[in-house]
Amino acid sequence: MNITITKVSYDDKLVLSNIIQLYRYDSSEFDGHALNSHGLYMYKYLDNQWTDDYRYPAIIKVDGEIAGFVLIILDVPKDFTKLSKTNKTNVISDFFILRKFRRKGIGKQVAFSIFDQFKGDWEVKQTLTNKPAYEFWKKVIGDYTNGFSYHEEVLKNEQWTGPVFNFKSGEE
């Protein structure tokens, strides 16, 4: 199984937009997103993926077939993150693996690859009601850090409600 993670060029914006529709549909049972009057799920940060230097949108493929995406925010300032106490932190903004590719270790391999590629402090959060995402990230981050060098907290405030993980990957 050949897994690739490729930065999305602006020319492939429509591809990412289409996959985001699947993601929003899949997660709507947990976060309450609704279709707009055109029958689409909106994602207000789509254009920002190419206008903000700190964003890194990537398509995940398995044996050449699109299998999902990951949206990363790199080196964000302290006031942008929820728990990090460091000056700059990487954040998994959104992470999606299509159902047919789930439970095969692909998501874990992608996460490990991303953490290894972008060394430093990380923050991963998910919606409070999304128990499958919580279980996935708890296991993946626990495995990545050998179960001992991460911090987990459930936040309930005006900015965010849900679990947040912080940890460090590799040497900076």
d(CA 69, CA 23): 9
Say whether pLDDT at 114 is over 70: yes
b/e burial code for range 1-12 (CB count within 10 A of at least 16 → b): eebebeebeeee
Give this prediction's pTM.
Answer: 0.91
AA letter at 10:
Y
Which residue has better confidence, 31 or 74? 74
Tens digit of pLDDT for each residue in 19-41?
A: 999 999 999 999 888 999 999 99
Which residue has better confidence, 97 or 156? 97
Please report the domains of the chain, with CATH numbers, ordered by start residue. Answer: 3-123 (3.40.630.30)
pLDDT, residue 157, reads 72
Average pLDDT of span 108-130: 93
Tens digit of pLDDT for each residue in 87-111?
A: 688 999 999 999 999 999 999 999 9
pLDDT, residue 132, reads 93
Nearest Cα to Cα of residue 90 among 70, 108, 109, 68: 70
Three-state DSSP string of 133-156: HHHHHHHHHHHHCCCCCEEEEEEE
pLDDT-based confidence at residue 172 (cuts at 50, 70, 90): very low
Mean residue pLDDT of the chain comes to 90
pLDDT-based confidence at residue 162 (cuts at 50, 70, 90): confident
